Amino acid sequence: MPLTFVGHDELGFLITYSIRYMGHPDGKVARASHSLFVAFVSSGKDSNDDERVLLKEQLVFYYIQTSLEGYPGITPFEGMASGVVALVRHLPAGSPSIFYTIHSLVEKTHNLCCEVMTEEADLWKNWQEELEPCKKILDLLLRLLSLVDIQVLPSLMKQLAQLIAIFPRDGQNMVLNDLYAQVAESDDVTRKPTLVSWLQSLSYLCSQASSSNATSKGVGLEINAAFARSDDEIVISDYLLGGADGDGVREAAAASARGRHGGGGSG
């Protein structure tokens, strides 16, 4: 893939050149390439240089594509994770490249997990061995829930819900427990109410799908139809819940959450 990015500053030229080495078999060379990307994306935060911002945006698409193509194997996960966190923090809020990054990470996680899903179902109880590369990207996506701009959050939550819904029940339990702990520890008063509502709804939907033995495809479609964007929040539609009133929905979701969480928990 040829690199034809704009940009004339020395650091931009260096990044454009060095990013070619992200797939280098020498781990030190690959890690250095990721470090340079992080340095460039994080630079010039107070600058209004449109050309520099454009170069960063263009680099992201190639960076994410190349990183994920080499993962697992060549791409060092820590280097890729630092690159993702840097671009989410330093690119303009709502940047198309951020949405592209999230979509690509979700797609990669889905593909990695599906490879294991047809082989060793017991691995989902601890997410080890073949599932470890998948779990690492999933943990990164969960971390992004507290990092992405609030206008990107609904898209991230929706895609995560679709992803978690296709996991076997043991896999869902592990992820939901991680989410409960993460949300409970959050002190972000802006996004925490939205995350709490989303998590309770997701837990309820997963439990319903499990009890009815829904297929992975069916669950994904239900989640897609049920979670809709409204005033920057994810809400449950009447379509899936049979027209239940809002209070009933919340009570059912909360009851499901308490049942999963050992009969109690902090919000």
DSSP 65-128: HHHHHTTTTTS-HHHHHHHHHHHHHHSPTT-HHHHHHHHHHHHHHHHHHHHHHTT-GGGGGTT-
Band of pLDDT at residue 210, cut at 50, 70 and 90: low
The residue segments making up the domain with residue 203 are 96-211
Mean predicted confidence (pLDDT) in 153-166: 94
In a domain, 259, yes or no: no
Beta bridge partners of 234: 229
In a domain, 5, yes or no: yes
Distance separating alpha carbons of residues 266 and 258, to the nearest angstrom: 10
End position of a domain, from candidates 60, 91, 122: 91
Q: Of the segments 9-13, 26-30, 113-117, 185-189, which one has the largest average pLDDT value?
A: 185-189
Same domain, yes or no: 18 and 64: yes
Contact 177, 262 (CB under 8 A): no
| pTM for the structure as a whole | 0.75
Same domain, yes or no: 103 and 136: yes
Query: Across all residues in the chain, what is the average pLDDT?
Result: 76
Q: Which of 45-59, 103-117, 137-151, 180-194 is predicted least confidently? A: 45-59
- For the chain, what is the domain count? 2
End position of a domain, from candidates 194, 211, 228: 211
Task: Compute φ and ψ for 228, nearest 5 degrees.
Answer: -130, 150
End position of a domain, from candidates 185, 211, 237: 211
What proportion of the chain, given as a percentage, has pLDDT over 90?
A: 42
Same domain, yes or no: 57 and 161: no
In a domain, 225, yes or no: no
Q: List helix spans (H) across 145-267.
A: 153-165, 169-185, 192-211, 216-226, 238-241, 246-260
Question: What pLDDT, in 10s, does the model give residues 47-91?
Answer: 567 788 888 888 899 899 999 999 998 899 999 999 999 999 999
Residue 222: per-residue pLDDT: 42
In a domain, 46, yes or no: yes
Pick 238 or 73 by higher pLDDT: 73
Pick 257 or 110 by higher pLDDT: 110
Same domain, yes or no: 84 and 141: no
Q: Is the pLDDT of residue 207 over 90?
A: no
Residue 60: per-residue pLDDT: 93
Band of pLDDT at residue 23, cut at 50, 70 and 90: confident
Mean predicted confidence (pLDDT) in 86-99: 94
